[in-house]
Chain A
Amino acid sequence: MKLSWGKRSLVSVLSLGFMVLGIGCISWATYSMWSQPQSSYTTTVTAQVTSAPPLVSPAPDKASYPVYPAEGDNIGSLTIPALKQEFSVLQGTGDVELKKGVGHFNQSVLPGEKDNCVFSGHRETVFRQLGKLKIGDQLIVQTSAGTFTYEVSGTRIVHAEDKTVIVPTDHAVLTLTTCYPFNTPGYFPDRYIVSADLVMSNKL
């Protein structure tokens, strides 16, 4: 059976169309992933960190936040020296905030306070490399109240509906959450959790 020229060129046009669309999708997704919340890491930040932070530090009962941030406000920055990354932190974990950077879960205390402070970020952008963090790695949070250095104390994977992650703690803790697995399209039933304890705080 022979196909006419018309059918042959239809196949060609369709194939080309699929290819163009496909490459378009890939380019757009890649562009979004790399351009969205860009890391603004500079080595100067790490200079403030002492090499051997005291294990028991005078954790502040309350860090001073004279003005409580509103949803969407930029509240500071999160620096992860181990990954050479720095992101801005916004109040709230809605779609809008997470698109711009790391979101501070607004029903958790602010960084530096003596309780559980929860940050969340997209697995595709800011927290793409969260799985590389090891126990002892530092997380430095800078806010209007000062600079707070946390040390990773553990990582775990929980189900998305787990209610034991966002809970009060008796000392200052920073909890990072992102979707897990890190790179499977359409499938993210779990959450990757990084817990870190406050080891040093320089209050302003």
Chain B
Amino acid sequence: MKTLNKKKFISLLVVLSLGVMMVAPTTSMAAQPTVNLGTTSTFVVLAGSTITNTGTTTINGSTGADVGLSPGTVFSGRESVTISGAVHLADAVAIKAKDDLVTAYNDAAGRTPVTTIPSELGGTTLKPGTYDSADGTFQITGKLTLDAQGDPDGVFVFKTASTLKTASASNVNLINSARFCRTFWKVGSSATLGTNSHFVGHIFAMESITATTGATVQGQLMARTGAVTLDNNTITNGLCTTTPVTSPATGAATEVTTGVVKKTVTGGQLPKTSTPLYDLLFLGAALTLIGVVGWRSRKRYA
């Protein structure tokens, strides 16, 4: 009998402590901030070794559509690329952007918590979050749907340890306020975008990026060490239109606060108005309860 009681008591203790531990982390759940692009934000294509283009490629964007290369200097096929921004070949601007690319890459790579999902993204619908796969690759065959669930600041981060490959004619579809400027792909080695596919988001690749014939991209192609290869592509970047929803808690609203506010914003994010004090109270009560139960039953074990 006594052994049974003791076991019961210990399991009660364990269950209570687990319960207490689970309450605490739920308090700090906050929306994920976007990845800071730094000076890379005006670039559409950024590469390390070379940029090679075949056919007619168009590079444009609402806020600068620059092409940068560093430390490499060779941009072949440049004459058939229509670039609405500037070209920076191994100059100070390109070097700075490459530095900022490393920061952005590391930022995306460090995002937690990570949800591990199957490596084939085609045919799936995902909510904002950080994703990786068990084998360290992602593929898109068919259509990937990103659903921001009405939050234009919902951030999608995809992390691969090695490759990202999209099949020909594959597509990324944004719904419910999902935005390309909140979608990031951290690629551990190289990314390949299939023929006539449509891709969305900012790609930070450790090595190289290849956009095959006719692929269109809304976002950026940025390779840290290797080449970016283009072939009859249309790549469009741009900063998000001033986000209608800024969260003061994340400091995203700083640019607005410097000016005089003459008009209330439309659709402002309600501030988080809760502190962990109640959790602390609850935790305290649970701990005290465990203590009291333990104290009262201590004689039974004598």
> What is the interface of chain A, defined by CB distance below 8 A to chain B?
1-3, 7-8, 11-12, 14-30, 32-33, 68, 70-71, 91-95, 98, 103, 105-110, 115-118, 120-125, 127, 158, 160-169, 177-179, 183-188, 191
Contact = CB atoms under 8 A, between A and B. Distances in A.
Interface string B5-18: 01000000000000
Interface string B253-274: 1101101111111111111111
- Interface size grouping (class) on chain B: 35 or more
Given A107-B264, A124-B275, A162-B270, A29 B298 contact: no
B261 A106 contact: yes
B246 interface: yes
Interface centre among A27, A120, A164, A185 (most CB of B within 10 A): A185
B287 A25 contact: yes
Given A163-B268, A164-B267, A22 B273 contact: no
Contacts of B150: 161
Given A26-B285, A163-B267, A166-B267, A32 B277 contact: yes
B248 A29 contact: no
A117 B282 CA distance: 34
19 contacts: A11-B301, A15-B298, A18-B294, A20-B291, A23-B288, A29-B280, A32-B275, A32-B277, A68-B259, A68-B260, A70-B257, A93-B248, A94-B251, A103-B271, A160-B270, A177-B273, A178-B273, A185-B278, A186-B278
Interface string B277-293: 11111111111111111
A23 B24 CA distance: 17
Contact of B266 (A30, A124, A168, A188): A168
Given A68-B260, A108-B264, 4 more contacts: A26-B288, A123-B273, A164-B267, A166-B265
Contacts of A12: 294-295, 298
A115 B301 contact: no
B37 interface: no
Given A29-B284, A93-B248, A22 B290 contact: yes
B275 A18 contact: no
Interface centre among A91, A118, A186 (most CB of B within 10 A): A186
A184 B278 contact: yes
B95 interface: no
A92 B248 contact: yes
Given A12-B298, A123-B274, A186 B27 contact: yes
A22 B288 contact: yes
A72 to B, nearest CB: 10
A122 B263 CA distance: 25
Interface of B is mostly: helix
Nearest to B9: A11
Contacts of B297: 11
Interface centre among A24, A27, A95, A107 (most CB of B within 10 A): A107
A164 B244 CA distance: 12
A177 B277 contact: no
Contacts of B292: 15, 19
Given A15-B298, A105-B248, A106-B257, A161 B151 contact: yes
A110 B253 CA distance: 16
A185 B301 CA distance: 34
A26 B263 contact: no
Contacts of A109: 261-264
Contacts of A15: 290-295, 298
A107 B290 contact: no
B273 A118 contact: no
A19 B281 CA distance: 13
Interface centre among B266, B277, B288 (most CB of A within 10 A): B277
Interface centre among A18, A30, A183 (most CB of B within 10 A): A18
B283 A25 contact: yes
B264 A116 contact: yes
